[in-house]
A and B are shown apart, each in its own frame.
Chain A
């Protein structure tokens, strides 16, 4: 970037060419008030509060500009001299403020923005303390009986048009960044109104941001409404517990209760625009369902007991099991959204105190949990890009991923690339997803035909020689061999199997070859796919062919998962790996602090653990922060298996379906009640802080297992989460970070490796899936504003967006079966059935139904069976 020099308030300042005067000033700590400017948006210069005095060189003279200029929309140029606080400027700002305030109701006492309002602050700083305006103020009356003019314009957004200063931050955010259409401005001049389109509501996934970034109280929040004053609350930094993006958030706490969550901008991750799930998803913490005391099964009923009693029972039972079956009689499954500190302590307890390696977190797949050798060799298991790198790409190939609902912030970056550098978005999914609002191409392929699609594309590119041989690094004989091996993937078959027209296949192939940098993104549908490895390898082939194996804005991302899925991998929540992803061979170092660890053979993974329970080789099972009974893709099997366990300990926040089967239920604290760290999909380690006291007698898992360890005479002596962090900090390989407090504000980023090894093309095999002979394929995912199970549905605000489960069906199918929207329908197969209201989606393929898998009432696992690769169902109208 070219550097330029200018003078602001007499200070020599260096900045990059292309920046505005405002940005140059703000970067250097010079304060200029703004209302309409926002770093995420293009400048429009609507409010005029950022006026400055500018003089720029002409010839060898510095000539003052005839008028004041808005600094947010004036590019900084070489040699400029800017005055930001001269008498003239201050007077002009006072004038601007007087005009803004002419129509502003000044009802600060009743306004929720009061105390954090840029208009209030700026008026305090620049404004005159009287008003010359004596005329009638503009007023938008929404209810004749009320003295308040508030209007609810979305499930969580309330508008008071009187206060609006027409900065258009809200509508620009919605349209420019979120690519949504649910907020716009109507009428003209002073009477411009901010409204959703007629009959609509603002309900996009990022809608909370318009409230946060409205510089006045024109848009406020339903949830936070009038409850507390902002200066009463304490703001504590935290990390979102939902998806694997890891947004930085601020919790507002007053008297030990969380009242709201706001953004805590991390420019490299969330850009201060978290999604609503993170923003409103705190409410489960104070939900009445929270477990407050340990429970123990007595006479077939769970009764409350003391911690001491519960832990003693656990200890005795473990001893008993180890005596009868050996330590391999104990196994542990963990959830994906616990903290690294939890994982470390759990791992240490099971591996060193009990001596079992049967620990796993992978509950989402039916078979083949670990990546095959070919995937590992190609280094496809680790994402090598960062969220910020997405901005630089010029094409996205999104496969089998509802990116919008699985990784909302990654989706936002994809959209940013589209908005600011016109990147192309190609969506390939078995069902329509909401990202299609901005997609250049959307192709719906027949469910589970990914291997055909990808290998077909690869073959097409090779066959038609579309690739650039230099970039692709492929020799002719290699290409020939590949063509020969993939003879069954000819153009026609692929088109037939995938249901994508030949011309479309060709366009996809062509645009893949034309773009400079393509990022391939796969999501949850691939993560749980029965042919996950072949899909990843085919993606690798595609990336290789199109020259995207190396470069800082190209590559393959495997997304999905929950907030700390990556932490599970890193901190040893797999049977064959020790913390920080070390294989057993490197256990020596760990042994010095952990003592003896059984490293002769790996433990069992989830699939084997369940099998061994059925074989009565495992008697004592721990399910920690994991609702296995709901998550495992075969409800009947998991329920039967778990009830065979002789002794089952469940630790969770709520009495989940799994907890109901348990012998001992331990209440655990949420991440708001403890310090800790998460690792997001990029591999950035971020810390969250304790913001409220533990609810009831609940404890974080690390504390429970530290306590338990003392009963086994293996005192870990972990008193705080920081104690644990200090234990594993040396493994992170960053010397400066030895305590939690030393983690940088933007998170601890590990060194990036960008290039994938070039291992040539590899043909993959298509395996016909096993399935029942029924007409419909059941797909599941996240419903609007929900994520995973148990948590988001316990948040009132998120339920305001979507409260009831549904089954989405195609309109033709509905017509054929005379189903109208809202009718109860049943999906059924030999595994079980689910019943929910019908929702009609026009562009859903006819042989697919979609069920959001978030709601307690409807469990998709009921119609899944571990013996089938694909779950087919038939539909019955009730």
Chain B
């Protein structure tokens, strides 16, 4: 009997106090997608493939180092020779479902070609749509906005290394 009374008059009000306290606090959730949280500068989202600024040529030479560095083994590529005799990626695919967004690919890339961007809104209703091809990944040319990247190397083949 005593036990029941204790529950009704002490335990319930204590619990309700917590509820009430939080009810009047400022909410931690936000109204996504209307409102978005600020992004950390080093956030790693969807990849993109860069181009040279002066002529729009693809930076990627299909060296395969990103794929070698990738712990999730989600990058596939096939190289070929373009009409100028240069090496380029005929096929370049990233399986974004397997990707763990570690950024190793970006770190491995010797040509400053692949970067992880800020994009995270790429959900889809089909698994196949997560295989991003080279066309999906390449930044559009002409550029819509200047590249966020500060490149070390500005041209493909400088005379001085």
Contacts and interface: CB of A to CB of B under 8 A. Distances in A.
A148 B84 contact: yes
Interface in B54-89: 61-65, 67-68, 78-81, 84-87
Contact of B85 (A105, A135, A137, A148): A148
B110 A108 contact: yes
Contacts of A812: none
Nearest to B76: A255
7 contacts: A108-B110, A109-B65, A134-B160, A146-B85, A229-B63, A229-B68, A231-B68
A544 B149 CA distance: 82
A67 interface: no
A26 B111 CA distance: 37
B116 to A, nearest CB: 19
Contacts of B157: 147-148
Interface string A402-420: 0000000000000000000
Interface residues of B, number: 22
Nearest to B68: A231
A137 B63 CA distance: 22
B161 A137 contact: yes
A150 B62 contact: no
Interface stretch (A220-228, A421-429, A433-441, A739-747): A220-228
Contacts of B86: 110, 146-148
Contacts of A226: 62, 79-81, 87
Nearest to B77: A229
Given A137-B160, A228-B79, A110 B84 contact: no
Interface string B135-161: 000000000000000000000110111
A719 interface: no
Interface in A113-139: 114, 131, 134-137, 139
B80 A148 contact: no
B2 to A, nearest CB: 75
If over half of A's interface residues share one DSSP class (helix, strand or loop), that class is named, otherwise mixed; here it is loop
Contact of A139 (B80, B111, B159): B159
Interface of B: 61-65, 67-68, 78-81, 84-87, 110-111, 156-157, 159-161
Given A148-B84, A148-B85, A226-B80, A106 B63 contact: no
A134 B81 CA distance: 30
B161 A105 contact: yes
A74 B81 CA distance: 44
Contact of A106 (B81, B156, B161): B161
Nearest 5 interchain pairs by C-beta = A109-B63, A147-B157, A226-B79, A229-B64, A146-B84
A114 B87 CA distance: 13
A330 to B, nearest CB: 49
B156 to A, nearest CB: 5
B85 A143 contact: yes
A145 interface: yes
Contact of B111 (A106, A109, A135): A109
Contacts of A109: 61, 63, 65, 110-111
Nearest to A105: B161
Contacts of A136: 159-160
Contact of A227 (B65, B80, B111, B156): B80
If over half of B's interface residues share one DSSP class (helix, strand or loop), that class is named, otherwise mixed; here it is loop
Contacts of B80: 226-227
A145 B85 CA distance: 10
Contact of A114 (B63, B78, B84, B161): B63
Nearest to A255: B76
Contacts of B159: 136-137, 139
A377 interface: no
Nearest to B155: A147
Nearest to B63: A109
B84 A225 contact: no
Contacts of A145: 84
Interface string A90-118: 00000000000000011011100010000
Nearest to B64: A229
Contacts of B110: 108-109
A11 interface: no
Contact of B87 (A105, A110, A134, A143): A110
B79 to A, nearest CB: 4
A148 B84 CA distance: 8
Given A147-B84, A228-B78, A231-B64, 5 more contacts: A110-B63, A137-B160, A147-B156, A148-B157, A150-B85
Interface residues of A, number: 25
A797 to B, nearest CB: 15
A232 B64 contact: yes
Interface in A226-284: 226-229, 231-232
A400 B35 CA distance: 88
A143 B84 contact: yes
A134 B157 CA distance: 16
A219 B108 CA distance: 26
Most A-side CB within 10 Å, residue of B64, B65, B78, B80? B64
Contacts of B68: 229, 231
A228 B91 CA distance: 11
A312 B35 CA distance: 72
Contacts of B63: 108-110, 114, 229
Most B-side CB within 10 Å, residue of A106, A108, A148? A148
Contacts of A114: 63
Contacts of A147: 84, 86, 156-157
Most B-side CB within 10 Å, residue of A108, A109, A225, A228? A109
A332 to B, nearest CB: 43
A128 B87 CA distance: 28
A137 B160 CA distance: 6
Contacts of A232: 64, 67
Contact of B81 (A131, A137, A225, A229): A225
A144 to B, nearest CB: 10
A139 B159 CA distance: 8
B103 to A, nearest CB: 19
Nearest to B113: A109
A137 B158 CA distance: 10
Contacts of A135: 160
A136 B111 CA distance: 20
A396 B67 CA distance: 54
Contacts of A143: 84-85
Contacts of B65: 109
A130 to B, nearest CB: 12
Contacts of A139: 159
Contacts of B160: 134-137
Nearest to A152: B85
Most B-side CB within 10 Å, residue of A135, A136, A143, A229? A229
A231 B67 CA distance: 11
A227 B80 CA distance: 6
Interface in A762-820: none
B17 to A, nearest CB: 63
B119 to A, nearest CB: 26
Contacts of A225: 81
Contacts of A148: 84-87, 157
Given A150-B85, A226-B87, A227-B80, A110 B161 contact: no
A147 B158 CA distance: 9
A97 to B, nearest CB: 16
Contacts of B111: 109
A226 B60 CA distance: 13
A225 B67 CA distance: 19
A131 B161 CA distance: 10
B154 to A, nearest CB: 13
Given A108-B110, A137-B160, A232-B64, A227 B79 contact: yes
A229 B110 CA distance: 15
A715 to B, nearest CB: 43
A106 B161 CA distance: 9
A110 B61 contact: yes
A320 B73 CA distance: 57
A684 B116 CA distance: 56
Interface string A508-532: 0000000000000000000000000
